[in-house]
Amino acid sequence: MSIDPRFAAALADQITLELESSIAYLQLSIALENHDLPGMARWMRLQSDEERVHAAKFTAHATDRGLAPQIGAIASPVIDTSSVVKCFEASLAHEKKVSESIRNLYRLAQEVGEIDVIPLLHWFIDEQVEEEATVGEILGRLRLVGDDGSGLLRIDDQLGSRPGADAAAETH
């Protein structure tokens, strides 16, 4: 099965971006642990895990089509983690970056006739709409409570109850 070289390169770039996202979320998790918000830290760890799953989905598609994508360089994330709001602003900005990258991958797939990837990209487009909405809602709630400790702790508790299979990643 022949794959347009530009699309193959873009697919490898997307895999790299998903892994970069995983590292960014892990960094945000560390920051939230340092803010003494273990529920938010857990939520970010689960996001980190989810981003690796996303990379695996793109990788599986590529390898199923005979490609051997090369993971690119991943720089250490530079994120302002001075406040909880800053952490979630960084999360939302990163989700928007990933969303645009997926839209660009979709546009390229249409341009070069890579129709086999369209169902996968539809799944990712839906996923990104959900991701941006979720992080946007959390950010809105954080802005609403401001520096109110009880409000932050309530949100922390709610985010910490997010279902996920992260027993191995738990630190406490």
| 117-148 pLDDT tens trace | 999 999 999 999 999 999 999 999 999 999 89
Class of domain 5-163: mainly alpha
Distance CA 21, CA 6 (A): 22
Residue 67 has pLDDT above 70, yes or no: yes
**Once rounded to an integer, what is the mean pLDDT over residues 66-75?**
94
**Once rounded to an integer, what is the mean pLDDT over residues 83-108?**
97
User: How many residues would you count in the chain?
Assistant: 172
Residue 108 has pLDDT above 90, yes or no: yes
pLDDT at position 167: 40
Distance CA 134, CA 96 (A): 12
| CB contact at 8 A, 38 and 156 | yes
Residue 171 has pLDDT above 50, yes or no: no
Crossing angle of the two packed helices 84-112 and 38-64, in degrees rounded to 10:
10
Distance CA 107, CA 101 (A): 10
Render the burial of 68-79: b for 16+ CB within 10 Å, e for the rest: ebeeeeeeebeb
Q: Is the pTM of this model over 0.85?
A: yes
Domain ranges of the chain: 5-163
pLDDT at position 168: 42
pLDDT at position 1: 64
pLDDT at position 165: 62
Give the other-Cβ count within 10 Å of 34's Cβ: 10
